[in-house]
Structure 1
């Protein structure tokens, strides 16, 4: 791996976080500090175009490392090229347009009676169109300066952005915190360590099901649902009866498909999630500016991204492992080994094309992510997965090539839209609300 100009020991790592001014970043820094034996970081660079946020977030990040006695250096810059120079891995956590754009994504689709959400439906397509070109530009700049660096994509919509990166030939793996969130929650309910819980997690990003929960090789999901189904259903905001009928645990995002009309009515009558997050971010940034704060505040847990740090450290450590068994053991201690990631399908789900991006358990090593075999997916789930995969392909084409008709086709193909009149109006609305981000529009 490349070294910084001053030279670093072979085991030391330089990580760069693009979107480092995010309020998520202290969660990541806390994980890097706690799990230092799994991922020895000597240098952490935060890159962001907003200098004020960088100063607040970077200052807290530095104090977190100091409080936990971590010896690593931390710096921040608005210069991507300088920040990525010599990095072993670059983490992408972008939000093009900020919470203001998210607020639009969550509201204008409701005018057509369609879900307004930042990762699925028309709002998710808008975010993909804004984000894919920026992510690809960042990735290309990183590759020109640093071709050996790994890209860890935490940027939504993760499936589409990761597919764009992989299709362009970048060394990339997509990451979401849904699976690790389930693992931690189930471990707590079962009274076991998280590393004892193995999930049969399958699908696409934000479109997944837990078909089995194994402890010691035994599937404990039926008993888990029988004893804790009410609590699990409440967390998902889905009916307990649905979980009992399916015999699986859907991701929270399946709520937009299984209860679409009910969710639309709910979204019409309460403040948007974007508004809640924006208010939360203002509070968090004020807290980050307190020079006495040297740990992540409790409020950050409500921001989302729970256990992101553990997942990111385990994934990055596995991608950078070069020390054989010693580092393998430390990765396992951090929850590594087999990990749920987003990567090329390559026959994992045989009814999908190889270049689709799926979210499944995979063995991760220095050559990338290698999906484990998956039991045949039941038609109830396979049909929806195939449908959304087709939409994601069209969404990526629209993001790469532009054009009103490509946007229309992607919206028409989406299972939450699928009607010509809706697709036409949503196309016009999407373009009207995003012209500043879409030069071709």
Structure 2
């Protein structure tokens, strides 16, 4: 197989390449094409991949492309993880959010909407290029906000777009690891999640970064009640410490970590305001230094530096949320990178080899959430084979979450309309309707500041 990585200078590209190298399949990826608009970042990633390959003739060949059409022409799969505006854009979103007194997280609320409005025109151009030069390719989208970008690009490429995220898979693994430690499920059960196998069935539904784990079938038995019955066990893993055992037991399900921004909105905004620097500023400084140092370093030196910085990123992940929850630490096991790379590989093999796999993905719901339009993209367990990805039967969105899901989906679809129509008023409508933004006045101020900051938003009129 041939794979194109769009955003090929992105920091997590080596994770994908390492996973490809570990694939023993006769149908493994043999060529990886890197495309990025930033040549410095692209050069750094090419050095790291060269070091990882270590002269192994079986390692996927790396081809650096300067033209998008050349990158996607003739490949089987396209993995898109672009960031329009870079980490500097994220830092600016956080600054604006602080100025108007709201949350600035990059995929939720104002930050997510601003990020989407910058990224949608580029993502749609990419989809149109794929449709023109390689309409048979499959687009695996990891570009955030993943739900919005996936739904918008489906308008061009249809079911050949599949959105992925590592949050729900990470959540399920942590729950199962906890149950393994308590000897409530067999050892090794957690490792069977997210790699395509069907031995573990997850009952999970919601939107990207807004979903609930409502059941886990292991050998035909739902083991989640075993967890919910034990408060101490709940608070032994990250989401349990973040939300607290009492709240998880009240919900009767385990929420995705990003729901902390909704359930503890005031506490998170206060913690964010009191933080010495925002997450975006930290990443901007960290990555700026890395890419600068990488230019003069050897491939081996760049690879070592990358691994060190990757660990620092994981240690500080969602730091303000953990501070808002009372200073929740991260376990060593939490520092393992998410696993979206393995999900992507499982998708490629399921489609290319017609070997059915079960994975949590972002796809058109087609009735899985009956109160949403059939074509609305949701995050749900899917069966994946040569025909693509199709939702599996799951429990409906829990009653306490339906209003939230419906409101946020309306916001997402309004953002897409704003991008298509170049409408500032629709952008304001999306902002004002979001549950984490307090009113029309705040929405207008936030968008005005964003338009003053980002040239990419000049199309909104």
The two structures share one fold, judged by TM-score above 0.5: yes
2:176 matches 1:180: no
- Superposed displacement of residue 211, structure 1: 0.7
2:130 is paired with a residue whose SS is: helix
2:394 alignment partner in structure 1:
374
Alpha-carbon distance, 1:284 to partner: 4.7
1:241-390 aligned within 5 A: 241-270=246-275, 271-282=277-288, 284-285=290-291, 286=293, 289-293=297-301, 297-303=307-313, 306-321=338-353, 324=354, 328=355, 337-390=357-410
1:331 corresponds to: none
CA, structure 1 residues 220+82, in 2 after alignment: closer, same or farther (shift >3 Å)? Answer: same
Contact 2:9 2:41 in 1 (8 A): yes
Q: How many residues align?
A: 417
Q: Which residue of 2 aligns with 1:332?
A: none
Deviations 1:277-319 (A, max 9, x none): 2233246544694432567725424535521211111122223
Task: Map Cα deviations across residues 140-172 of structure 1 (whole Å, 9 max, x no partner).
Answer: 112211111110000000000000011223420
1:228 matches 2:228: no
Separation (CA, whole Å) in 2 of partners of 1:45 and 1:66:
18
Task: Give the equivalent residue in structure 2 for 1:3.
Answer: none
TM-score normalized by the length of structure 1 = 0.89
Question: 1:131-150, aligned counterparts within 5 Å?
Answer: 131-150=119-138
- CA deviations 1:251-273 (Å, max 9, x no partner) are 11101110111110111111111
- Does the 8 A contact of 2:77 with 2:137 survive in 1? yes
Q: Distance in 2 between matches of 1:381 and 1:413?
A: 16
**In the alignment, which of 202, 205, 208 is matched to residue 205 of structure 2?**
202
CA distance in 1, matches of 2:73, 2:58: 22
Q: Mean alpha-carbon deviation: is it higher for 137-146 or for 148-157? A: 137-146
Residue 440 and residue 151 in structure 1: after superposition, are their counterparts in 2 closer, same or farther (change >3 A)? same
Query: Paired residue for 1:419?
Result: 439
Q: 1:130 touches 1:438 (CA, 8 Å); kept in 2?
A: no
SS at match of 2:454: helix
Report the Cα distance in structure 2 between the residues aligned to 1:383 and 1:121, rounded to whole angstroms: 16
More moved, 14-23 vs 64-73: 64-73
Do the aligned partners of 1:91 and 1:153 also contact (CA within 8 Å) in 2?
A: yes
Structure 1 residue 434, shift from structure 2 partner: 2.2
Query: How far is 1:21 from its partner?
Result: 0.2
Give matches, 1:112-127, under 5 Å.
Answer: 112-127=100-115
2:88 maps to 1:106: no
1: CA distance, partners of 2:375 / 2:26 = 31
CA distance in 2, matches of 1:70, 1:223: 45
Distance in 1, matches of 2:120 and 2:27, equals 29
TM-score by length of 2: 0.85
Structure 1: gaps spanning 5 or more residues: 1-12, 329-335
Aligned equivalent of 1:74 = 62
How far is 1:379 from its partner?
Answer: 1.6
Per the alignment, in what secondary structure is the counterpart of residue 443 of structure 2? helix
